[in-house]
Homo-oligomer: A and B are copies of this chain.
Amino acid sequence: MSSYTPIGRKVTLNDIAAGCGVSRATVSLVLRGSPLVNKHTRARVEEELRRQGYVYNRAAANLRRRTSSSIALVLNDLANPFFAEFAAGVDESLAAAGFVTLLGCTGESAARELAVLGSLLEHGPAGIILSPAEHSRAPDVLAAVGRRAPLLLFNRELDGAVAEAEPWDRLMLDNQHGARLATEHLIERGHRRIAFFGGHHDSSSCRQRHAGYLEAMRAAGLRTEPHGRVECAPTRLDAAHHAPALFTGALPPTAAVCYNDAVALGLMLGLRRRGLEPGRDFALTGFDGIAEAALGTPPLTTLSAAPRERGRQAAELVLQRLQQPRAAGRQVLAPVELVVRESSCPPIA
């Protein structure tokens, strides 16, 4: 346990009360804008608050009132712009509601995730927004969090969870539909051999996107080859690395539906290393709608999930849950929108 003793003693309600000859209780009432106090008293107290530079001690108040004014935000990867935007949206809405964000990063490690949850819970957050690490298991999370704070799951499912039946809210992207749109778009452009690139099949979001891809392929009567499915970590670096795996078969694909934008941007790099110009010699689509997608070369066709807006939405959902602790679990599926840019070119003749 870490400790720090500030230099000057803090100004408390007692100091203010003594300073203007009223009781502690009265000062407290003033602070909370109660109509009970006489306006002359209020003015005197407020003047004294200013004079002494009083700062409200929310921890003490929360202790007494058995409430909390913080929300924990646990993310698997803050360095991914998608989650950074998401976090910015969460903080924006929470701050507007008078809550403060307790941040925790897990770096895609389920073990760290449990440690982080444990540590954050000791600060008694009113709720938790969790974007799980890969392989994070439902029973573990349930054991760590229990009934101590309502949980909102974002973006991914937990391993071993029966989605609808669990005691938490969920805000998910419409992964399957989105991937289907992307695939259909490539088919419409004239592609026949289309791969699905990136992500791990363990991850729920990846499975769903892959399912959407299969759905579209099947509906169009197109074959999916085994080597048309390349797995890699959902980062640019690993994606760039795995690009060659697309071209091992006799008839390589002319296009790829990528797991997300990071992977798509990495794949572009990998393609160039093979002398293929993305958006001309090879078509691809992303997923997430991060800012980089619009600015890449070529600009990336992607499914915009509006991460900042999703952050705001997540905050709203948690805050609503606090109002109605016993309401039924909410399952929200956020829509995604196909944004067509130059990366999804027609096949070369």
Contacts and interface: CB of A to CB of B under 8 A. Distances in A.
Nearest to A92: B105
A208 to B, nearest CB: 26
Nearest to A266: B295
B100 A102 contact: yes
A104 interface: yes
Most chain B Cβ neighbours within 10 Å, of A5, A10, A88, A146: A88
A87 B78 CA distance: 8
B88 A105 contact: yes
Given A79-B291, A101-B102, A102-B101, A70 B147 contact: no
A19 interface: no
Instruction: Tell me how many chains of this kind the complex includes.
Output: 2
A39 B7 CA distance: 38
A92 B109 CA distance: 13
Contacts of A6: 66, 126, 147-149, 325
Given A6-B149, A99-B2, A119-B98, A124 B295 contact: no
Contacts of A32: 1
Interface string A51-81: 0010111111111011111100100001101
Interface of A: 1-8, 10, 32, 53, 55-63, 65-70, 73, 78-79, 81, 84-85, 87-88, 91-92, 95, 97-105, 107, 116, 119-124, 126-127, 146-149, 236, 240, 265-266, 268-269, 272, 291-292, 295-297, 308, 322, 325-326
**Lowest 3 A-B CB distances belong to which pairs?**
A84-B84, A297-B297, A4-B126
